[in-house]
Amino acid sequence: MLLFKRFLCVFTKHDFMIKIIKLFIFFTFLHCNLLAITQNIKTIHIDAANARPLNLSDIAEKVTPIVLEESKGGIHNILLTGEYLFISSLNSVIQYDLSGKFIRTINCGGYVADNVTSDTVKKELYIPVGDKIKCYDYAGNFKKEYSLKNSSLFSLYHKGFLWVQSHKIMDYAINSINLSTGKISELPFEKKGEPFKAENGSMAFISAACRLSLYNDEVIASFAFDNTLYKIQQDKLIPFVQWNISPPAQSYSDRNPLHASGFIGDYLFINYRRDDNLYFYLENMKTGKKFNVSNLVDDVFHTTGDCRISSMEQKGCFYFIKEKSEIKGNSIGNIPLKNGPVVFIVKIK
């Protein structure tokens, strides 16, 4: 009996040591993987004091003005296809041809959160409306809709999948929709928007601005309140670029750059704000060329005021908008002005 107890004691200790060794190997493996991920994150340091004005011609390969025939409401975002210009507005999407002629208003039956994306082969639009993604053809006919658990924000079509950033109060998630099967998956990722103490002492929440863009044929996700870009690989979000801005954010407005960051072609595009001044930073990820910009000056068409640029789904392009009051004369180039604003589509160098 004593011999059996000694054997059992030795066996138990041996089994315990095996478990300890396995745990050690597991945590060592986990640490090495986390270290590898951390080491692969590119870190950028931006100094607002070094921001300078930039001429449009320094970064523009081509600038194409589209004079809108008339204005049909506010402009949230813009989608350019080979045939049309789609402008997402408050409760609708406005469709123009590439000469700026108004074609139709697609009433979406609810608040359009941000952008409209498209499968340009099938000529289908995908529009985030509340907790749904609604699909229309280019003739404005409703085709189908996809229901989400939370409110939709920003969407991006890529290779048969629809990627959607969504939120519930201040919890953010990313969903993928397989458009062939209709299957909706939520990525194992959660981002929380932190409350911030405003100047009057009240607690404020940073706006729910998000962005999905493409770089190296991978989907890139960003959030306006975060200083990190994430790439989606095998249904996982992996941080790969982060930035630090000096001086640090001191106010609510400093933490709310209005637009999330992303990519314009090979250029990393970071929006930031200090003392109510809007800035942006560009860095070509392949050549290393950098621009830290306090304001973009239109030296091509010589419109007045700063050019507030936004990234767009069209590869390597961004846009800015000018009202008639910011344009000298009655035309832009050889194109007569009409009742609406002018959308400038810029192909970056």
Q: Which residue has the tokens 């340091």?
A: 45
Query: What does the alpha-carbon distance between residue 179 and residue 133 come to, in Å, rounded to a whole number?
Result: 12
Q: Return d(Cα 307, Cα 297) in angstroms, integer.
A: 6
Mean pLDDT for 166-183 is 86
Average pLDDT, integer, range 195-215: 67
Q: Is residue 38 part of a domain?
A: no
Label residue 36 by pLDDT band (50, 70, 90). very low
pLDDT tens across 150-164, in order? Answer: 888 899 999 999 999
Cβ-contact 172, 223 below 8 angstroms: yes
CA distances, 151 to each of 94, 95, 171, 174, 208 (Å): 22, 24, 11, 11, 11
**What's 114's domain CATH number?**
2.120.10.30
pLDDT at 327 over 60: yes
Task: Give bridge partners of residue 157 from the DSSP assignment.
Answer: 162
Please report whether residue 289 resides in a domain: yes
Would you give the DSSP letter of residue 74? -
pLDDT above 70 covers a percentage of the chain that reads: 82
- Per-residue confidence at 263, pLDDT binned at 50, 70, 90? very high
Q: What is the mean pLDDT of residues 104-133?
A: 93
> What are the pLDDT digits (tens) for 39-57?
488 999 999 999 999 999 9
Peptide bond into 65 cis (omega under 30): no
> Does pLDDT of 38 surpass 80?
no
Q: Is residue 298 part of a domain?
A: yes
**pLDDT mean over 218-244:** 89
Please determine, for residue 30, whether its predicted confidence score (pLDDT) is greater than 60: no
pLDDT bucket at 94, cuts 50 / 70 / 90: very high
Strands 290-297 and 277-284 come out as antiparallel
Q: Report the C-alpha gap between 32 and 111 in whole angstroms.
A: 45
Nearest to 291 by CA among 62, 52, 44: 52
The domain total for the chain is 1
Stretch (H or E) spanning 66: strand 60-67
What are the angstrom distances between the C-alpha of 278 and each of 19, 196, 204, 256? Answer: 55, 19, 20, 10
User: What would the two tokens of residue 251 be?
Assistant: 């106010």
Mean pLDDT of the chain, nearest integer: 85
Least confident of 88-97, 189-198, 237-246: 189-198
Q: Which residues contact 50 (CB under 8 A, 6 or more apart)?
A: 292
Query: Does residue 44 form part of some domain?
Result: no
- Judged against a pLDDT cut of 70, whether residue 116 lies above it is answered with yes
Picking from 340, 338, 301, the residue whose alpha carbon sits closest to that of residue 56 is 301
C-alpha separations of 258 from 1, 144, 209, 219 in Å: 76, 31, 7, 21
* 26 in any annotated domain: no
The pLDDT assigned to 236 comes to 86
**How high is the pLDDT of residue 32?**
43
Residue 250 vs residue 289, higher pLDDT:
289
Beta strand spans in 247-329 (E): 262-264, 267-274, 277-284, 290-297, 310-311, 317-322
The region of weakest confidence among 34-38, 126-130, 232-236, 296-300 is 34-38
Q: Which domain holds residue 289?
A: 53-348
Q: Is residue 303 part of a domain?
A: yes
Residues in a beta bridge with 336: 331
Of residues 119 and 172, the one with the higher pLDDT is 119
Query: Is the Cα dihedral 268, 232, 115, 347 positive or negative?
Result: positive
**Residue 240: inside a domain:** yes
- Looking at the predicted structure, is the pLDDT value of residue 35 above 70? no
- For the segment 102-129, the average pLDDT, to the nearest whole number, is 93
